[in-house]
Homo-oligomer: A and B are copies of this chain.
Amino acid sequence: MLDLYELEQLISFADLGTLSRVAEAFHISTPSVTRAMQSLEEGFGVPLFIRGKNRIELNENGQAAVELGRKLLQEAEDTVNRVRMLDARRNTIVVKSCAPAPLWELLKKLSGSCPGATVSSSICQNEEVLAAWENDDCDMAILPFPIPSGEGKTEKFMEEHLYICVPPEHALAGRDEVRFAEINGFNFLLRTELGFWDLLCRQKMPASKFLMQAEEFAFQELVRSSSLPCFITDYYDVDRWAADYGRVAISITDAEANVTFYIACKPGGWPRR
């Protein structure tokens, strides 16, 4: 029976050129390597080397064994990796969401209903979420529209309403509500990783520029210290949030700013089997 460890040494020999270097690389003695190569030859049943008194090199069989052996080792590695992947995939709930708030809401619920489960979540654009859902690359999908779902079930999950948040001295501060068209052209502070909100803002306010901030802390400092408007949603207590930063919140009335999120779940409960 072929020994993959010995085969690995053979391949290392092909790469390094001398048994001593193989021994060094594997942290074993040179006699061990010699014996491994002899055992390998025995296993193949044909000579693999041309032996001089103190030189050894691959013959044509050996070269073929190395080439085929590389493939075999790769396949062996793939074999265990695939099983591992399968296991990992089965024990993790993969969630793709188009926005942060409904994802957080879902994670909250999951930590209650599936306390042990590993959850792998990511926020991305609508199309990406849809693609993942259709390719079975996720177990749950959150989108701002009903999800066409043959298998599994899709249902209304939550609503979220968008506000802008401006300092009291801002031109719009006195307003009760606004429309995208009115704020198009203003520059905004914006968090990254907002999923479909990001794209929506750029589409509805093509004349605006957005100062992206990846870090929550940096974002908060900018909100506090600058007079640039930013966004907030009713996932938070909007008025208290605005007050904390010395600002006022103004509702956006466009239909697109008032979103209903839908969630789809693949069938088969947790943990799977």
A1 CB within 8 Å of chain B: yes
Given A64-B86, A72-B75, A87-B61, verify A43-B80 contact (CB < 8 Å).
Answer: yes
Residues of B within 8 A of A60 (CB): 86, 90, 273
Candidates B1, B8, B44, B61; contact of A5 at CB < 8 Å = B1
A171 CB within 8 Å of chain B: no
- Label chain A's interface by main secondary structure: helix
Residues of B within 8 A of A3 (CB): 3-4
A46 CB within 8 Å of chain B: yes
Closest to A86 in B: B64
Residues of B within 8 A of A64 (CB): 82-83, 86
A2 CB within 8 Å of chain B: yes
Taking a contact as CB atoms under 8 Å apart, the answer to whether A44 and B84 are in contact is: yes
Residues of B within 8 A of A47 (CB): 87
A146 CB within 8 Å of chain B: no
**Separation in Å of the A114 CB from the closest CB of chain B?**
18
Subset of 27 A-B contacts with CB under 8 Å: A1-B5, A2-B4, A2-B76, A2-B80, A43-B80, A44-B80, A44-B83, A44-B84, A46-B83, A46-B84, A46-B87, A48-B83, A59-B273, A60-B90, A60-B273, A61-B86, A64-B83, A64-B86, A65-B79, A65-B83, A68-B79, A68-B83, A71-B75, A72-B72, A72-B75, A72-B76, A72-B79
Interface residues on A, range: 20 to 34
Copies of this chain, whole number: 2
Closest to A2 in B: B76
Closest to A90 in B: B60
**Separation in Å of the A168 CB from the closest CB of chain B?**
59
A269 CB within 8 Å of chain B: no
Residues of B within 8 A of A112 (CB): none
A195 CB within 8 Å of chain B: no
**Listed residue (A1, A65, A84) with the most chain B CB atoms within 10 angstroms of its CB:** A1
The docked-state distance in angstroms from the alpha carbon of A76 to that of B47 is: 18
The docked-state distance in angstroms from the alpha carbon of A46 to that of B36 is: 29
The docked-state distance in angstroms from the alpha carbon of A3 to that of B47 is: 23
Residues of B within 8 A of A43 (CB): 80
Residues of B within 8 A of A75 (CB): 71-72, 75
